[in-house]
Amino acid sequence: MLILMVAPAWAAPRWQVDPDASRLGFSATQMGGAFEGTFRRFDADIRFDPDDLASSRVVVTVHMDSVDTRMADRDAQIRGPGFFDVARYPTARFATTGFEAAGDGRYVARAELTIRDVTRPVELPFTLAIDGATAMVTGSLSLGRLDHGVGQGEWRDTKTVGDGVTVTVDLRATRMP
């Protein structure tokens, strides 16, 4: 039996992220002071059309061992079992469930965010600017690390590491032919 799969004519265009011009980052607090970090490696499957949000979708897979806070000891701790536990949970996943236009190049992505096999709904407000075949996306969302199981054992206590985390997205992508 031969099954032929054809993409519908209304499928949103595909975009390829430029990793050198993009940043997936976060900010949190440790001992009352703010710190920032980035994820150096992530894969993005982006199919987006601002005129056809119903057929648009985004799936981002983050390689959690690529976390970089510019402090080797902290990075090792974050990769360990008390936080990301990259040996058991090597990736996190952001998969959209829908989009909403918010006017003037602004949108909201509704998605499921999975970290440490804990999936929670999130909303990512973002701005989009398209110039020819190039798109720039910026946005941020706030979440509680404990809601995703990030903070086991002694690290569940928020006195040392705060619960609140802000995730920031700055992407440059090119429309695929």
> Which pLDDT tens digit goes with each residue over 88-116?
999 999 999 999 999 999 999 999 999 99
Q: How confident is the model at residue 159 (pLDDT cuts 50, 70, 90)?
A: confident
> Which residue, among 64, 121, 125, 70, has the nearest Cα to 97 in the 3D structure?
121
Instruction: Give the model's pLDDT for residue 10.
Output: 47
* 9: pLDDT strictly greater than 90: no
Please tell me the distance from the alpha carbon of residue 130 to that of residue 86, in angstroms, as a whole number: 35
* 3: pLDDT strictly greater than 60: no
In which residue are the tokens 């720039």 written?
136
Q: How confident is the model at residue 11 (pLDDT cuts 50, 70, 90)?
A: confident
The CATH fold of domain 18-175: Lipocalin (2.40.128)
The DSSP line for 97-142 is: EEEEEEETTEEEEEEEEEETTEEEEEEEEEEEEEETTEEEEEEEEE
Instruction: Give the model's pLDDT for residue 6.
Output: 45
Instruction: Give the model's pLDDT for residue 137.
Output: 98
Tell me the pLDDT tens digit for each residue of 137-156: 999 999 999 999 999 888 88
Q: How confident is the model at residue 5 (pLDDT cuts 50, 70, 90)?
A: very low
